[in-house]
Amino acid sequence: MEPTNRAFGRARWICALLAPLVAGCVTGPEADGNLIVGLVTKTEDNPFFVTMREGAVERTEELGVELRAFAGRFDGDTDAQVRAIESLLAADATGILITPSDPVALLDAVGRARRSGVLVIALDTPFDPADAVDGTFATDNFRAGELIGMWARTSMGASAAGARIATLDGAGTQVTVEVLRNQGFLKGFGIDIKDPGRMYDEDDPRIAGHAATMGTEEGGRAAMARLMRDDPAINVVYAINEPAAAGAYEALRGLGVEDDVLIVTIDGGCEGVGSVAAGDIEATAMQHPVRMASLGIEAVVEYARTGGTPGNTPGLDFHDTGVALVTDEPVPGIPSIGTERGMNECWG
């Protein structure tokens, strides 16, 4: 591996390609070479993970530690994430922050890291069981889904009883974050979700269909077009994230039915909040990726100093980094913020 250097403000970026990994290393000007923190995200170009990485860069600069950042080439690139963990172990990293593409498939690699004395923190996507890692900083993804589901049901009023719902999921493979958001949305909408730990076991006739999007705009567009061919009466769309929601909107606009379908999603990026303001998306649930990354970096530094591990939010098996419903059509009984405030608090 032959790294190349380029200037990045006062920091020094060292970027290297480890096919099929995207890898980079950031070193603060006063970095302690004995403290390396790894960040392993699902993909490199999703705005959520871009923002998370930028937040990690800023916090490591402030604390004077070294960041090595890795990403898969696509959502679900577990092999790349395993190789990233192995690379960080070889580099004698103190801690690893990871947004797992497939928590189950990563259990062995994470276990090896922890047995080696490395602190492993999950960001955004929890492991199951939660104690497979040393801590988790994440949105309450079930609550985020529940908020947009409750809002959609309440805003539709009596017509919610005859809704035709499409869910646009990630990979559709029962990954924890997908399950939590999907099941939260359906419960919020008033669907009997049967097993809250599993998608697609519901029998409510209002569910018209579901499709995988891989969390991308292209995936959302293709999935929405396919579902509309199967059931042109679809009038409610849940999307796992804002890129998928944007793709769904484009597909609906291409069919000339964008004003007839309600779209809700989760992310809270500035582009997504802008789409809510424009009326393309009716509501989104805002997450805080910079907060997740910053707390993760701080946890590794504390671990290096004291051996302590992060605590959880009372009553939960993770540290809840917060969520806010963003919509310009508030409904009674469901807390929300408008897009004007949302644009001041969004990320990306």
This model's pTM is above 0.85: yes
pLDDT > 60? residue 1? no
The structural domains of the chain, ordered by start, are: 4-138+289-311 (3.40.50.2300), 141-286+323-345 (3.40.50.2300)
Asked if pLDDT for residue 66 goes beyond 90, the answer is yes
Q: Residue 262 forms beta bridges with which residues? A: 236
| pLDDT at 141 (0 to 100) | 98
Name the residue with higher pLDDT: 32 or 194.
Answer: 194
For 325, half-sphere exposure in the C-beta direction (CA atoms, 13 angstrom radius) is: 25
User: Contact at 8 Å (CB) between 121 and 137?
Assistant: yes
Tell me the two tokens of residue 76. 């679900």
pLDDT the model gives residue 34: 77
At 328 the pLDDT is 99
Residues 71-114: tens digit of each pLDDT: 999 999 999 999 999 999 999 999 999 999 999 999 999 999 99
pLDDT-derived band at 24, boundaries 50, 70, 90? low
